[in-house]
Structure 1
Amino acid sequence: MPIKKKQSNEGDNSIRLQIIPQPSEASTKLNGSGGSFFEPRAEGSNRSNPTSTEPRAADSQYRNFWDKAPEKKLTLFALRLAVLEKAASGLGALGFIWATVVLLGGFATSMVNKDFWFVTVILFTEGARIFSRSHELELQHQTTWTIADAGKHSLRAIASSSRFFMRVIKAIFQQLSAIKSENQLQKHITDDIQMIAHTPVLPHTGQQTWISSDVTLMLYTNWVVLSKNISRVLYWLQLLSAVACMTLSLMRLVQQNYGEDQPGTENRKPALNLFYGLALAEALMFLLEKAYWEWTISICKLLEQVKQECEFGTADIGIVPIKRFLYDAYSSCINGSVFDGLKMDLVSFAGELLDSDFHDEQLIGLQILQKFAKSDRFSSDTLRKIGTSTSMMERLIDMLSWKNPAKEKIRRLAAEIVSKLAGKKQNALRVAGIPASMECVSSLLYTGRKLDNKPYEIWGRDIVADQTNYEFSAFNLLGLLILKKLANDHENCWRIGNTRGLLAKIIDFTSTGEQLLRNDHATESQIKAVKRSLQVAKKLVSTTGETGKMLRREISNIVFTVSNIRDILEYGENHMLLQMQGIEMLTSLAMDQDAREKIGSTGGIIRLLLSIFFKPRLTQKENKLCVEAGETLALLTLESMQNSKHILNEKGVVDQLVDLLTDPVLQINSSRILRNLCAYSGSENFFCLRGVTVAAPTVLHSIMVEDGKLLQESIGLTMQIFRFMTPEEQDKELKRACISATNFAKKLLEILEKYNAPCVKVPRIRRFVIELVIWLMKSHEKYRQLFRKFEMDRAIKSVAETTSELECFPVFSGSIGLNRHDISLSSLADVALELLMNMKSKI
């Protein structure tokens, strides 16, 4: 990423970064050229690019989802039914008014006895049909309130088929309450319900009022008062009444024997014909509606079609939500405008069910949302719609903290939906922005620990720690998955870090040990929980800026953090992915100076990292693991005398590092580690590092032929190697590498000319070159003459004029530099220029 100098109109120079696209991590990580903390990165970016959870292909294919939503077939069907129903009701109302006002009011005395009874029977029959029709839908609703495929039969008994019956029941209750206490009455009615249903009642949901379908009108009637059976009775009553009205009206229209005309009765015949015609039209309209219903539902299987298109074919959800949605859409069209049902959709319908106080309705709503959220076809639009509904999101977040064992399924479904929501960046911000959302997510995590010898409890709610059948592992995995997705955003990382006790819970899940990692019978959920907790912790400690600094400090202060990772490195040879995540977490923690010392002082960490770094490699995964271990060691030894001593205490470590300088995979990190050992281990370890001089020909050759990061690290290591050699030994090593002093000096000049501006990929290369130039001029008079001859001063002046903050730091947290160099690059350039001018100068 070269930097070009731009000449402004005022004549002053400014620096402009030219951004060059970087290669992917997969192709650059092995040779140490990508994803490193030794180079700055875009602010907020993670070392590993998380795989997007958004189904992009599905977005493009189904972005007009709501135009193709399967439930629109139901809303259109409900509209057509409502049109027929309102037309029939309108004709019936007109006929009723005509009969009562005109016929029975005006021609009651002149009407023949036969017509009087025909009109009366038609009115009563039609009234019974309208009465039963107005409440059939309410009863059909009640048949869907209990989920059949949850393994329970219908437990509710219907108290009445009309508001009149409900008023009677209320009156009875009021009379009974004057005799019995409230508690005795509730116990009596509950016993009756259990006796009638012959099955256990639904779990208590905290509801303090009665549902109409829970109250029985008469005792010992069993199936007679069940809503589904009353609904069937009303259904056939409507059909019979319609057929009766049609038959009676058609008979009189055909017969036309309305009696002899009398003075004042001239309009009786047309009045009767109009009434019978209205009654016939109303009955035919109703029968047409019923025929259309039966044809669409029973013959064309509309509900089954919609169920399949909605992908509700599993036993967990079935056809119950589809029926319930159709009834609600039809009710909206009947009770309001016929177009009201067209505004409904299954996601909004499910959101309304979430606000219910009843267990089964909440479960239906969650099943709909969970099914749509997991569908490749519908997930994108479903999650977008949920994300824009604050009330729906707040309800889902609140359900995460429901710890009543009876609501375990509701809690799990809500957690699955929230985990899908958190996968989208905008929704993740909304989830984290809801008050107490992080506390609710934290409540999903439970490790089995007990506090003060008491079962684990949150906010005084239901204690579930002693429930042996409660699926803690499933909730742990879902909670960690939600946190993992939320942690992709910088702001959310700050919220996670500031949630009381949450960091300690996350680290607690990284606890393994030999019994787990070397146990062939360990469950998949146990290993997955460790994996996800490491992923969450890694995202947190790799956060950039002040947030990352705070999180690294807080996590390193947890006493179990490093020791848990040590167990993974020591016993996790069969779980290489866990080792990789643990090492990456150590790498991020090592950016903090205090954490760096804590890691090094934890027994066994340095030894385990070295054993992994030196481990023979056969697979691509092993290569990546060794590269990451090398980067961790390079960061641990940076400006740390204590950690450098720990490494030098390992037998033969310098020789092994020197050998790896020829390894194309590990040579960059080997160069970094050796340079840090030479620079920061102190003078007392001079003789331990004397063996590094055998690497001189290798690194000198790299300077002459290599480019990029390997060139940068080779120059830095060469400078440190020369500190352990006399001038004569330096010349000797150059000859062994077949490099003349002239060519060497010329190469250093070429490097400065090539990198005539700060480079993001190799931010320390110009500093290393100038340091080496200063050392050579102090050691050899001939190099001072050669640099004068090649006009090295011009290149050094160019460096002094183009220095930037980029070259003032050895490591970076995103775009923020850490551990500023004691001597600035401009000061080094001034020293080099003074030496070129034969002026005495000291660094």
Structure 2
Amino acid sequence: MAQSRTTEHCVQMPAHGAGQGKTAAPTPEKQLNCFVRCIALIERLGNALGTLAFTWATVVLLGGYPTALSSKDFRYATAIVSLEAARMFSHNNRLDYQLFFRTRGAVRPLGWNGLTVIVCLSNAVLYLFMIRKTYGYGYQTLKHSTRDLEIFKAWALSMIIVPAALGQILSLGALKLLSKRLRRAISLCVPLVAIMLLAPAIPYYYEGVTVVGYTLRNTMAKWIVFLLLFLAVLVLTISRLRYPRITKLTEHALGSKQVFWRRLILNSCMFAVLVMLAFMHADPFYRSVMITYEVYTLVVVTFGNLQIPAAIIRVVLASLRLGSHSYYGDDGHLDKRNPEDKTNLVPSLNIFYGMVLGQGALYIAACMLDIFSFIPQRSLARQGGFAGKWGVECVKLYYAYAFEKYMEGGVVAPKKISLITFAMDSLNSDSTKNQFYGIRMLHSLLQRDLTRTHLLSKLTTSTNTITRLINMLDWTSPRDITIRLFAAKVIAELANSLRVVTVPGTMQVVSALLDYGNQQKRGNPLLDTDDKQEEIHDLILNANVIHGEIQDAVLDTSSLLEPQDRSLQQVHIDEQNNLMLIWWQRISKFWSVPKEEPLTDQDLLPALGMSILDSLTSCDQDNCEEINKASGLISKIIGFTNYSRSDTMYTCAQWRVLVMSSLKLLHSLTSINGEIGITLRHKISKHPFLLRNLAYILVDNMSNTESRKLVAGILRNLAVHENARQAIGRIQVIISRLMHAFLTPEPSNADDDRLLRKISGQALTMLAMDSVNNCLTMLRETGYVFIKELTSIIRVDRYRCVAASLLRSMCLHAQQELEESDQRELSYALREVLERTLIADGAELEIFIGLSSQICKVIPEDFAKELEDGHIKDRFVMRLVDVLNSYTEPSSHCPGIRRVILEQAINMMEHDSRYTNCFIDRHMAEALSMVEETASEAENYSLFLGDVGLMEAREPLSSLMARAKQLLAVR
């Protein structure tokens, strides 16, 4: 049987160290790892300088010169020591350290929410200015009113502190503590509120230092700008409402990049509001204060934590003291009366401030490098195949993972940090978000040749990871549909090397994949209830639902949107010679990410489940045992072969994919060797609807060559058993379509068409073996002169053996039905048969000797005449005896070769006794003695699948030997 399955088909992983003589291909994450290591090294050097400065200050300065230090140096040293102490102590707590002093994320993207915060705060400053103007709070007024001055200072201080606090809240994602619905309401309303806060201040006009009142004069331009901005933000807000009609209008207006256009327009509106706030009034003091405050808030809101402000404080304090060198107080001279008290004070302070300056500079350098981390991150996304929003987030998480690893342990200690390790760690974590990204990364890495082999070897040796993947297949919650889908895709890649007995319950969860969207009603009014039908109908989901849920995912991925990524992907170069566009394309590669490929119909969960089962059958026969034991699994698989099913919500295209998947799996299952193969074929052939479904596929004009080829292969595999052979033969249309595919092939010379023809012929061959009824059915099929067609095909190398085997079966089982014209065609083909017998070997030789034996029986006179006229009688007899002597042991490829030789010799000697002398002269008696001594049970079978013999002969080999000896003894 073609493509038989054995246990040796398991994927063999390369041994450790194999191919060491070759240069290993660089991993995709190598560039990012080097970048992260550089940043981590700079930060660790800064930490080392900080620790040394802390020790120096506490031991040398504050401990050695407590009274000699000037008050300024004492304050500076104390402030620096306190700052460093806070950093050192927070280092022991990961969350505290990330909040205050982490280099990674020290600068955060501003985003639309940051701009909105700046607009709101700038509006507050505008109202403070208006209050000051309204009540005449000039400098002189505040100078003479202590209470008013204190209130004004408190407001000013709060406006300085609030941006920093809000920046930290935004950087920590504190809004995620709120419910999703409340977060959405805030995101919808806040931009609109920020615009509306501008309206009350527009009509005010001033005389001197006071607000006189409202006016429409000289404010028309402001109102026009305000209304345009308000309408733009209002339209954007409405477009985000989840109503079908609004969604359609938005998609029509903004296209597939509507998220990018929304954010671009919103950011532009916020910037326009900031400009309008800065120039709201002509007062120079107001403008300078507002511009300064907007710049201040812009900078502060972008701070992700206190690392940069703390570093700036270090650099400023150290620079001030190193620049002035006034270490001895106001007079700047050494006290001659107590010189020993200040010995080495200057170099000690220089060393201290130098270390503090170096620490701050290193932190700032690390933070600046971190800003440009998007370049290696996007490079990794491209090289690793991490596409779309999830790809960007995956790389960000890996960047954070690598940074944390490099910050741990020794500086020069080797650290095995890789995408594979990170993906497996993420998969095994307890976080749904990390599991989602871990499974997506594993799937992407398995698609890359550079990482596939190494990843497979890692996965197959990690029992925990394999167990987690298998368990994910059983996550039936709608929230987990994405994880379940990609877990199935990953396991489909691994199944070639997976033994399911190592993970109990594997077959059950894989079988459950076939139920997704495929729950059936009984369709019987005596058995169904309305409630049951409605419940099942609600559970049926097609691939479109899957696709929609995957786009929404199980996470809040709003932070993953990158407008620039999306816009750059839309750049189309219409003129290749345009240098500007070529330059822009090259620059955009530094931050562009691959476009995420959409899911296809091949990604249906039932299709993936059948793909997993197909791969499992090729790895280990224990897997086949588990498939056989799985309750109802075979019936589920066969259920997908029904082309005309109407009780499903899958589309026609999707259902055809499932049909193809089931046919591939059934073809694999029916190809299995050994006892388990017999069991599975029996179980499959007993299904009441299988043959009907296969017949429909053969008849359907819409079915493609691949599906008909698989059906023919399944029928061929099933036909090795007598009961299945007879059952198939009773369906006339199957034999008719197989004969049509074999005898009247498609005119094209495509490989698939030639393969379909050969497999169809093999199926007919198996159906004809030991089946009189099937042979008669083929011979009586209208529209063909079957024997003539076969004698013509026997001259074609590709189909020679198939045609010869069919001719043998026709001569053996339908001899009485052969007409004179059929016998004449056999006579014409006899020369070709005898010539092939003289030169063929192995299984082909067995087939042609068997055919010549049956032709000798059907037309003995023509056979004898061909031997005499062709002067090949002696050669032919000698060939038979030589082959009999050479095949001393039976082979699974040609177990019946000695049997057909004995049948040939018996038929020749029974027809003409002169052949007996020829055999005696060629020492046939000695050859028969040798056959008798080496006879084996295996020679009683026509076919072997593995170590199991099939199609047992009706007459044992011992009986044939006895007949041959008797004929030889007569002479």
After TM superposition, the score normalised by the length of structure 2 is 0.65
Counterpart in the other structure of 2:130: none
8 A Cα contact 1:810 1:819, kept in partner: yes
Q: Which position in structure 2 is the counterpart of 1:470?
A: 546
Partners of 1:62 and 1:788 lie apart in 2 by 64
SS of the equivalent of 2:491 reads: helix
Picking from 809, 815, 827, the partner of 1:697 is: 827
Counting helix residues as a fraction of each chain, which structure ranks higher? 2
Q: What are structure 2's unaligned runs of at least 5 residues?
A: 116-162, 190-239, 241-295, 523-527, 548-600
Deviation per CA, 1:291-341, whole angstroms, max 9, x where unpaired? 2552475399443444444344x3244443333223233333435433568
Deviations 1:2-47 (A, max 9, x none): xxxxxxxxxxxxxxxxxxxxxxxxxxxxxxxxx669xxx896589x
- Say which of 566, 589, 597 aligns to 2:726: 597
Give runs of aligned pairs for residues 628-667 of structure 1, distance below 5 A.
Answer: 628-651=759-782, 655-663=785-793, 664-665=795-796, 666-667=799-800
CA separation of 1:780/1:45 partners in 2, compared to 1, >3 Å: closer, same or farther? farther
Counterparts of residues 71-110 of structure 1 (less than 5 Å): 71-100=29-58, 103-104=61-62, 108=66
Are residues 304 and 689 of structure 1, via their aligned partners in 2, closer, same or farther at CA, if it must alter by over 3 Å?
same
Going from structure 1 to structure 2, the CA distance change for 1:800 and 1:350 (only over 3 Å counts) comes to same
After superposition, where does 1:148-547 map in structure 2 within 5 Å? 193=183, 196=186, 229=301, 231-251=303-323, 253=325, 255-257=327-329, 261=335, 266-271=340-345, 273-275=347-349, 277-295=351-369, 298=372, 301-312=375-386, 314-339=387-412, 342-422=415-495, 425=496, 428-430=497-499, 433-445=502-514, 446=516, 448-451=518-521, 463=539, 465=541, 469-471=545-547, 474-475=603-604, 476-491=606-621, 492-513=623-644, 525-547=654-676
Give 2:81's aligned amino acid. Answer: L
Q: Give the corresponding residue for 1:784.
A: 916
Following superposition, the deviation at residue 566 of structure 1 comes to 0.7
Give per-residue Cα distances to partners, 1:627-649, cap 9 Å, x unaligned. Answer: 32222122122223443444355
Provide the rounded CA distance (Å) in 1 between the counterparts of 2:734 and 2:513: 32
Structure 2 counterparts to residues 790-805 of structure 1, below 5 A: 790-805=922-937
Q: Percent same amino acid at aligned positions?
A: 26
| RCO higher in structure (CA 8 A, sep ≥6) | 1
Deviation per residue, 1:103-129 (Å, 9 max, x gap)? 556654564433333333433454566
CA distance in 1, matches of 2:394, 2:962: 78
User: Which residue of structure 1 lines up, in the alignment, with residue 804 of structure 2?
Assistant: 671
Counterpart of 1:720 (choices 831, 854, 859) is 854
CA distance in 1, matches of 2:324, 2:86: 21
Aligned 1:131-142 pairs, distance under 5 A: 135=96, 137=98
CA distance in 2, matches of 1:607, 1:829: 39
Out of 758, 766, 771, which is 2:903 matched to? 771
Per-residue CA deviation, residues 334-362 of structure 1 (Å, 9 max, x unaligned), is 35433568222121112222233333322
How far did 1:537 drift?
A: 1.0
In structure 2, the partner of 1:838 is 970
3-state secondary structure, aligned to 1:68 = coil
In 2, Cα distance between equivalents of 1:277 and 1:451: 84
Larger displacement relative to structure 2 (433-442 or 79-88):
79-88
Structure 1 portions without partners, runs of 5+: 1-34, 155-159, 170-185, 201-223
2:76 corresponds in structure 1 to 118
**Alpha carbons 1:128, 1:241 under 8 Å: kept:** no
Deviation per residue, 1:404-451 (Å, 9 max, x gap): 3333332222222222223xx4xx224663222222322332362325
Q: Distance in 2 between matches of 1:374 and 1:606?
A: 42
For residues 704 and 618 of structure 2, what CA distance do their matches in structure 1 show?
A: 24
Larger radius of gyration: 2
Q: 1:231 to 1:632 in 2, by over 3 A?
A: same
Q: Give SS of 2:885's match.
A: coil
Q: Which structure 2 residues correspond to residues 1-16 of structure 1 after superposition, within 5 A?
A: none
- Count of matched residue positions in the alignment of Structure 1 and Structure 2: 727
One-letter code of the match for 2:43?
Answer: E
| SS of residue matched to 2:437 | helix
Secondary structure of the equivalent of 2:306? Answer: helix
Pair 505,651 (structure 1): closer, same or farther in 2 beyond 3 Å:
same
Equivalent-residue separation in structure 2 for 1:823 and 1:601 (angstroms): 27
User: 1:615 Cα deviation (Å)?
Assistant: 1.8
Give the superposition deviation at 1:732. 5.4
RMSD: 4.8
- Contact 1:703–1:714 (CA under 8 A) maintained in structure 2: yes
**Contact conserved, 1:541 with 1:548, CA < 8 A, in 2?**
yes
1: distance between equivalents of 2:361 and 2:903?
A: 98
User: What secondary structure, in the 3-state scheme, does the structure 2 residue paired with 1:266 have?
Assistant: helix
Q: Which residue of structure 1 aligns with residue 952 of structure 2?
A: 820
SS at match of 1:819: strand
In 1, the alpha carbon distance for the partners of 2:672 and 2:660 equals 19
Amino acid at match of 2:809: N
Distance 2:395 2:449 in 1: 20
SS of alignment partner, residue 706 of structure 1: helix
Aligned partners of 2:445 and 2:451 also within 8 Å: yes
Closer, same or farther: CA 360–464 of 1 in aligned 2, 3 Å? farther
Inter-partner Cα distance in structure 2 for 1:514 and 1:323: 46
Matched to 1:504, the amino acid is: S
Indicate if the aligned counterparts of 2:713 and 2:759 stay in contact, CA closer than 8 A: yes
Q: Using a 3 Å threshold, how does the CA distance of structure 1 residues 142 and 443 change in structure 2: closer, same or farther? A: farther
Contact 1:538 1:584 in 2 (8 A): yes
Query: 1:183 is matched with which residue?
Result: none
Contact 2:853 2:903 in 1 (8 A): yes
Distance 1:783 1:129, change over 3 A: closer
**8 Å contact kept, 1:589–1:596:** yes
**Mapped partners of 2:298, 2:542: distance in 1:** 38
Aligned residue identity for 2:309:
L
Find the aligned partners of 1:188 and 1:70 in 2 and give their Cα distance. Answer: 38
Equivalence for 2:192: none
Q: Cα gap change, 1:413/1:752 in structure 2, threshold over 3 Å: closer, same or farther? A: same
* TM superposition shift of 1:552: 0.6
Distance 1:123 1:799, change over 3 A: closer
Indicate if the aligned counterparts of 2:739 and 2:760 stay in contact, CA closer than 8 A.
yes
